[in-house]
Amino acid sequence: MLIKNIDIIRADGTLVNGMNVAVKDGKFAYIGKEMPEGYWGEVLDGKGRVLIPGLINTHTHVPMTLMRGYGDDMPLDRWLFDRIFPFEDKLSAEDVYWGSMLGIAEMLASGTTSFSDMYYFCGSIAKAVIESGIKANIGRGVSCFDETKKFADLPAYSEMLELVKSYHKYDGGRVLIDAAPHSEYTTRPDILADIAEFAAANSLRVQVHLSETQKEHLECVGRHGKTPAKVMEDSGLFDFPVTAAHCVWLSDIDVEILAKHKVFVAHCPQSNLKLASGIARVGYMRQQGVSVTIGTDSAASNNNLDMFEEMRTASLLAKGVTLDPCALPANEIVYMATRAGALAQGRKDTGDIAEGYAADFVILNTNRISMTPSHNPLSNIVYSASGADVETTAVNGRILYHKGEFLTIDIERVLHEVRAHVKFLLDK
Amino acid sequence: MLIKNIDIIRADGTLVNGMNVAVKDGKFAYIGKEMPEGYWGEVLDGKGRVLIPGLINTHTHVPMTLMRGYGDDMPLDRWLFDRIFPFEDKLSAEDVYWGSMLGIAEMLASGTTSFSDMYYFCGSIAKAVIESGIKANIGRGVSCFDETKKFADLPAYSEMLELVKSYHKYDGGRVLIDAAPHSEYTTRPDILADIAEFAAANSLRVQVHLSETQKEHLECVGRHGKTPAKVMEDSGLFDFPVTAAHCVWLSDIDVEILAKHKVFVAHCPQSNLKLASGIARVGYMRQQGVSVTIGTDSAASNNNLDMFEEMRTASLLAKGVTLDPCALPANEIVYMATRAGALAQGRKDTGDIAEGYAADFVILNTNRISMTPSHNPLSNIVYSASGADVETTAVNGRILYHKGEFLTIDIERVLHEVRAHVKFLLDK
């Protein structure tokens, strides 16, 4: 594939005008002013377009699109116990498949090329990922409320074994399986330690929820005499590559722990606001050397999976809370949503527009109202654009979404199946 | 016009399913389950659609779309003095016309049917409003830095006279002229008093910026020994119907003053965050009986004019800051963005889907990813949808935007003219 004469915004926010971009074997083979030699099966004209790295959503629960708008404006306990948990109790593998397809379609249409997920029925998620062509790190969430059970006794354990066998590194690593202890408050230190061992034995990365709410943070201190971050460090979990979602209530010492162990943070500002969890201290964490990435969390608490909105909210919130209009500028936000996310997922050759990197990219049409005038395309992308401005989304050089059409997903069928499955679940 | 079998969300958030809606002479003539008799020039099928009141943007500076992305991530002083003011110095009436057209197109495409504006070259704004078919309250911003000048000596005074004569109540009140002292810090108490008198003499409403930044608030206290709200009250400005934009730094007593005088607040959360002004205490103001509406502020500090985003940010921010997930629920947000806005603009028969009201409405397609599943269409609208989900926008029963097409605006020409005018301004 050849993209001719396109402006590029790189992961660090640098703008380069009028480049020719060649894609071969799923990677960027050439990026420069010259016209590369060769025969190109597909040629895209980049005039009036801007090319950016595919966005990386480092924390979501994609099947929960089924619960979009199912419980809003409710106290957290009622939301969980009256809505989310009873609904989830009824879910089947097929429900999860269709919910995943809806969420993946939503992400592709809004410029996300890779996501990190924590849920169950992960085979269904993997199937949707494989069929759709998107990239994902999939983690089977592990919780345990039974004192008598060890990690190896849990159904999640055997499911994880099966997932690793069937899907880990599938399609050249497009699918990765992560270990995913749900959180401190839904597990125990020994289970965290066992999961860490499992991750080590299978060379897996780790996803976990960390200090999302004040209640969780304080109750942990009450229970263990130490913070959730310290419990995780002491269990050995942080000796492996970890992405910790939320991190709203970290103490200064917790932040030091995360920095020391190179734990990535998945900042989910819209979900944290909507569930009234609070506002993560992103500026402080970054100052202390923690790499912060961006996630949407699920459509049950967001309520969409548009990373453009999430980028904007992350930046605006940082400015508003610190009263510093220069906080989290557009170039840093783009880095967080692309390259930093790729590194959190353990995808070393992903998340930038550079030769040799995976050709995961997004093309935006700049001849749109939200992108006009074009004083600064980077500003327009972070502060004005929305997912609706995405014209093309490609993963490993394969176009998956183009001008409103999905190339790998029958979207009308997905919308129909989701409605039918939700109706069936509610009637159950 | 007849809209058949459509679900309606009213200004108070109530959902009514499967209604037939007849529009005659620019007003809702019938809303009910029966099929109204008559001959209908235009029939819309409401299946898979939801009808909501047109959104009302109570604070913007629409020509500033010309400065979208022109200065971001900068300290406020540098933003103003290095970017905005020098750019504005070069503006012509024609520049303002094209910038207004771009902003109006952006608003119509994202479901806004009426806006309140404060700028200069207001004849150009009025021309764009008249041609496009949108509603607007237009105020010629008044500032005065010359101690020797009185209100009647200012060019703004004669311009206001001219505006009132030419445009006030134009087209059955579609265009209204407001009096618009810029703020306390850019005027003087005697000028505020004179403007109040001018408003009284001409039966105008008032728009003003109030306590947007801490600096403005504190410097006023230093200068006058009282807060900006108190200065305005003492000058008599609050004896007339006023919409005060921002109100981030109001004291408790200021809020009492606003409640007492029934001053409307235009809450602009995204601009307040982006310029690092702070976060307005919306919950507190509403508790104290102040009517709060929603505005985007200009594209120089937002950087788009999408009221769906603004509704969402207003709600999420209120929840996140108060740590109450029930704060500013979806139904209250919709009221703020519709009926409350209409009342702030002095448009008594506007801002709801009700018989006898102006037929200013928006139709959303619910067969879209962001609106699926449809557990709760109201939630989807506030927490998931974006302007891109708008299918139809109508003002006074006249469709102005439908399925991506503008009926009154040549959008390709507008995009072209804006680019050309911006290039010319930058080269000046």
**A425 located within any domain:** no
Give domain status of residue A136, yes or no. yes
How much is the pLDDT for A182? 97
Asked whether residue A39 carries a pLDDT value surpassing 90, the answer given is no
Single residue among A344, A372, A388 that ends a domain in this structure: A344
Q: What tokens does B39 get?
A: 């001959």
A266/A268 Cα distance (integer angstroms): 6
**Is residue A13 domain-shared with residue A100, that is, in the same domain?**
no
Give the model's confidence band at A210: pLDDT under 50 very low, under 70 low, under 90 confident, else very high.
Answer: very high
The structure tokens 């429900």 sit at A95
Last residue of a domain, one of B344, B377, B397: B344
* Those residues with Cβ within 8 angstroms of residue B138's Cβ, 6 or more apart along the chain or in another chain: B117, B122, B125, B126, B129, B163, B167, B175, B176, B177, B178
Q: What was the pLDDT predicted at A43?
A: 94
Mutate to test the interface with B, among A50, A62, A70, A73 (most CBs of B within 10 A): A73
Which 328-357 residues of chain B touch chain A by CB within 8 A? 329-330
Question: Is B427 contained in some domain?
Answer: no
| pLDDT higher than threshold 90 for residue A287 | yes
A20 with A103, same domain: the answer is: no
Same domain? A47 vs A64 = no
Residue A196 located in a structural domain: yes
* Residues A237 and A108 reside in one and the same domain: yes
* A261 phi and psi angles, rounded to 5 deg: -95, 10
- pLDDT bin (cut points 50, 70, 90) of residue A75 is confident
Q: What is the pLDDT of residue B217?
A: 93
- What is the predicted pLDDT for the residue at B77? 86
Say if B254 falls within a structural domain: yes
Q: Are residues A267 and A154 in the same domain?
A: yes
Chain B hits for A380, Cβ within 8 Å: 68-69, 303
In this structure, are B42 and B177 located in the same domain? no
Q: How far apart are CA A126 and CA A97, in angstroms?
A: 9
Note whether A303 contacts B379, CB cutoff 8 Å: yes
Q: How confident is the model at residue A171 (pLDDT cuts 50, 70, 90)?
A: very high
Residues A387 and A294 in one domain: no
d(CA A261, CA A241): 8
**Do B377 and B150 form a contact (C-beta atoms < 8 A)?**
no
CA distances from A87 to A299, A424, B127 (A): 14, 11, 53
- B48 and B101 in a single domain? The answer is no
Residue-number span of the structural domain to which B323 is assigned: 55-344
| CATH, residue B16 | 2.30.40.10
Same domain, B115 and B96: yes
Do B309 and B397 reside in the same domain of the chain? no
Is B314 touching A (CB cutoff 8 A)?
A: no
- The predicted pLDDT at position B348 comes to 97
Please give, rounded to a whole number of angstroms, the shortest distance from the CA of A324 to a CA of chain B: 5
ipTM of the predicted structure? 0.96
Domain of A204, CATH number, reads 3.20.20.140
Cβ of residue B171 closer than 8 Å to a chain A Cβ: no
In a domain, residue B170? The reply is yes
- Per-residue pLDDT at A38: 85
Q: Is the pLDDT of residue A233 over 90?
A: yes
**Distance, CA of B325 to CA of A315 (rounded, Å):** 22
Nearest to B109 among A69, A323, A369 (CB): A369
Residues of chain B with pLDDT under 50: none
CB of B80 within 8 Å of any CB in chain A?
Answer: no
Same domain for A318 and A378, yes or no, is no
Instruction: Give the pLDDT band of residue A32 (cuts 50, 70, 90).
Output: very high
Q: Could you tell me how many CB contacts below 8 A there are between chain A and chain B? A: 206
Is 90 exceeded by the pLDDT of residue A37? no
Note whether residue A102 is domain-resident. yes
Q: Name the residue among B303, B306, B373 with its Cβ closest to that of A66.
A: B373
Q: Does B320 touch chain A (CB under 8 A)?
A: yes
Q: Evaluate whether A194 touches A155 at the Cβ level (below 8 Å).
A: no
| 3 state SS of B18 | strand
Assess if residue B426 is contained within a domain: no
- Distance between CA A6 and CA A48 in Å, rounded? 8
- B255/B372 same-domain check: no
Three-state secondary-structure class, residue A413: helix
Q: What is the DSSP letter of B374?
A: -
Q: What is the pTM of this model?
A: 0.97
Residue numbers in A near B387 (CB within 8 A):
386, 388
**Into how many domains does chain B fold?**
2
Q: Write the residue in A270, A306, A319 that is nearest to B273 by C-beta.
A: A319
